[in-house]
């Protein structure tokens, strides 16, 4: 394991794991408690999971609580929490109005410690899975995004945004360019999570030589959907620094820019990458 000199400040980050219900108000109350806990443990940045505000009984339930871009109780909650605790909050995903009346944008919203919206990322890759009683097709209710997004967070961390199923598409993370931290708010199914979640997260950390912070839904929901959980923080060497297997809670740890620099110096894989490869097929 490479060593690092302590010259750049570390940043404490937290991922919240939830078992969200079909009731928005219940979920916001649960999120508020967990955000407060993360703040008490010193987090400067808090990541909420995908669908933190609603896990409906039907796919269309999220369409029923969609908000206008920039206006709505879920967005106000996130802004108020960021301002109250003086922290960065990455709001898992919020259903926002899209150009298609029967669909939503599945959007990650980033708020700074002043409660200001810094940026928004709309989920690009839409999940589809059919095996036995597990059947999902997000394209029925979600309009996909088409832009990658990164921002400068606490400690000047270059932070890339992604959501759940995006994790299976490494080209998205390459397109972000060199980043210090990638966040992955998720609601992985138990089946796919058990098989692939940890492997994919560690691969994204290793190949991009950055930290990966993943906030997941983790348990049995009232709609009888079971999510995998295992929210975690992974360092750029691929080591899991903290993990919560199941249930509500906070995963917390530090992003160390010195370690990132050390690994990229000792193993300059990003510098060795070539874009000259062409298919011969």
Catalytic residue ranges:
50, 123, 164
Cα–Cα–Cα angle for 261, 182, 164, rounded to 5 degrees: 155
Specify whether the CB–CB gap between 231 and 49 falls below 8 A.
yes
For residue 199 the two structure tokens come to 């492997």
Instruction: Using the Cα atoms of residue 54, residue 57, residue 61 and residue 65 in order, give the sign of their dihedral.
Output: negative
Bridge partners (DSSP) listed for residue 90? 47, 110
For residue 88 the two structure tokens come to 């960065």
For residue 267 the two structure tokens come to 């193993």
Instruction: Using the Cα atoms of residue 185, residue 262, residue 255 and residue 247 in order, give the sign of their dihedral.
Output: positive
- CA-to-CA distance for 118 and 163, rounded, in angstroms? 17
User: Mapping DSSP to helix (H, G, I), strand (E, B) and coil, where does residue 269 land?
Assistant: helix
- CA-to-CA distance for 113 and 118, rounded, in angstroms? 10
What's the 3-state SS for 161-228?
ECCHHHHHCHHHHHHCCCCCEEEEEECCEHHHHHHHHHHHHHHHHHHHCCEEEEEEECCECCCCCEEC
For residue 89 the two structure tokens come to 């909050």
User: Mapping DSSP to helix (H, G, I), strand (E, B) and coil, where does residue 256 land?
Assistant: coil
- CA-to-CA distance for 105 and 66, rounded, in angstroms? 9
């Amino acid at each position: 394991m490479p060593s690092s000199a302590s010259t750049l400040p570390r940043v404490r980050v937290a991922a919240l794991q939830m078992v969200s219900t079909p009731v928005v108000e219940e979920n916001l109350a649960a999120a508020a408690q967990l955000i407060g806990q993360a703040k008490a443990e010193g987090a400067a940045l808090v990541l909420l999971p995908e669908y933190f505000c609603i896990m409906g009984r039907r796919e269309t339930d999220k369409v029923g609580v969609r908000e206008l871009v920039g206006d709505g109780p879920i967005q106000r909650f996130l802004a108020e929490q960021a301002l109250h605790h003086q922290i960065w909050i990455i709001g898992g995903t919020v259903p926002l109005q899209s150009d298609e009346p029967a669909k939503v944008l599945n959007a990650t919203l980033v708020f700074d410690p002043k409660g200001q919206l810094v940026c928004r990322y709309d989920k690009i890759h839409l999940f589809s899975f059919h095996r036995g009683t597990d059947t999902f097709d997000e394209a029925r209710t979600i309009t996909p995004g088409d832009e990658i997004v990164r921002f400068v967070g606490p400690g000047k961390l270059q932070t890339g945004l992604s959501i759940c199923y995006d994790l299976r598409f490494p080209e998205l993370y390459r397109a972000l360019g060199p980043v210090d931290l990638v966040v992955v708010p998720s609601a992985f199914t138990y089946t796919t999570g058990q098989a692939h979640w940890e492997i994919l997260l560690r691969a994204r950390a290793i190949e991009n030589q950055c930290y990966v912070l993943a906030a997941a839904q983790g348990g049995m929901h009232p709609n009888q959907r079971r999510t995998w959980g295992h929210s975690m923080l992974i360092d750029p060497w691929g080591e899991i620094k903290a993990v919560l297997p199941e249930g509500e809670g906070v995963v917390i740890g530090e992003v160390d820019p010195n370690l990132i620099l050390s690994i990229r110096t000792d193993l300059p894989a990003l510098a060795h990458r070539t874009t000259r490869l062409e298919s011969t097929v």
